[in-house]
Amino acid sequence: MDTKILLCYALRFLLCCTFIAWGQTITSQSGTFELGFYKPGIPQNYYIGIWYKNLTIKTVVWVANKKPPVS
């Protein structure tokens, strides 16, 4: 997948102009959450979401723009 998104994320301050691609994630400072691209059950649809990082079953807690998907 060749889709990229421009993000600002927090370390101890905001950093701008950072890109994230499919397979890359940003982890919250606490290590609890990850943000990245994910694909639910529909093969052609990709979304940007936040999920719990350390759970065996991916549990998504937020999805950006469910309609339409990224791809």
Tens digits of residue pLDDT in 29-43 = 888 999 888 888 777
Query: With a threshold of 0.75, does the pTM exceed it?
Result: no
Q: Which residues contact 36 (CB under 8 A, 6 or more apart)?
A: 20, 23, 24, 25, 26, 48, 49
What are the tokens at 2? 């060749």
User: Is the pLDDT at 56 greater than 50, yes or no?
Assistant: yes
pLDDT at 53: 93
More confident residue, 3 or 54: 54
Q: What is the pLDDT of residue 10?
A: 44
